[in-house]
A = this chain, B = another copy of it.
């Protein structure tokens, strides 16, 4: 039996009834569905956290998986509901910019959902619309029956690091449960710019400095600071067995600066 995988990424939390109502609706319409939670603790309405969660998980799922995004999922003229196909995966949500942050390039296929909604009645899009679309996909019906094809997604620019010949200026994009500090400087950029040259990573305007990249948290002693490229290929500042963000007093959007020795 093929069990279609449906993932859910939302800002609903897990206490309220919203999530279970949607899971019930999914199982009602797609009884063989395997439902997997990506995250439901996205900060309310936060597009960056949403795309970060989805970006770092969807590729690990089997092809054919359907990824439903329940954050800011009300449709509007500017931000219609869309279904996206990319590398054998499907994505359903409102085109409010989240998806442009999930993919590095425009996805293979994008369709604007052409769903007639009752206009005077509260609509819970994820339950009332997205589940129907997921069912359509599971039944292997053509995506173009769902609506018109779009050429591109609403573009929300990711804040990319700023570079000068010997400088990379990035910022903190995520702080995880361990208070590891994730930056927007990825391994490719670092290798291209720094290569085998010496460098200094400045944190808190130079209050803290790191001059080495390690490959594992335990490469340094307990309590010591470390920089490494994590499982998402992003430069990460951590404290072995500690809480780097708290220790360093660093927060989301703080600047991280690398000076390369020439």
Are A215's CB and B32's CB within 8 A? no
Q: In the complex, are the beta carbons of A17 and B44 less than 8 A apart? A: no
Query: How many copies make up the complex?
Result: 3
Taking the complex as formed, is A7 at the interface, i.e. its CB lies under 8 A from any CB of chain B?
yes
Chain B residues lying within 8 Å of A27, measured Cβ to Cβ, are 5, 34, 36, 61-62, 65
Cα A62 to Cα B27 with chains together (Å): 7
Interface residue? A53 (CB, 8 A): yes
A contact face: mostly helix, strand, loop, or mixed:
loop
Stretch from A104-112, A135-143, A146-154, A228-236 at the B interface: A228-236
A21 within 8 A of B: yes
Contact A17–B53 (Cβ < 8 Å)? yes
Please pick, from B25, B60, B241, the residue contacting A24 in the complex, using a CB distance under 8 A: B60
Tell me whether A58 and B216 are in contact (CB under 8 A). no
Report A13-50 residues with CB < 8 Å from chain B CB. Answer: 13-18, 20-25, 27-28, 31-32, 34-42, 44-45
A12–B177 Cα distance when bound, in Å, is: 7
Name the distance in Å between A198's Cβ and chain B's nearest Cβ.
Answer: 18
Quote the shortest CB–CB distance from A48 to chain B (angstroms).
13
Query: Does any Cβ of B come within 8 Å of A212's Cβ?
Result: no
A100, chain B: closest CB distance, angstroms: 18
Shortest Cβ gap from A231 to chain B (Å): 4
CB distance from A28 to the nearest CB of B (A): 5
A-B pairs with beta carbons under 8 Å apart, 9 shown: A12-B177, A14-B39, A17-B52, A17-B232, A18-B176, A20-B37, A24-B62, A28-B60, A45-B241
Nearest first, the 8 A-B pairs at minimum CB distance are: A24-B60, A15-B41, A24-B61, A13-B177, A17-B56, A124-B231, A20-B57, A20-B38
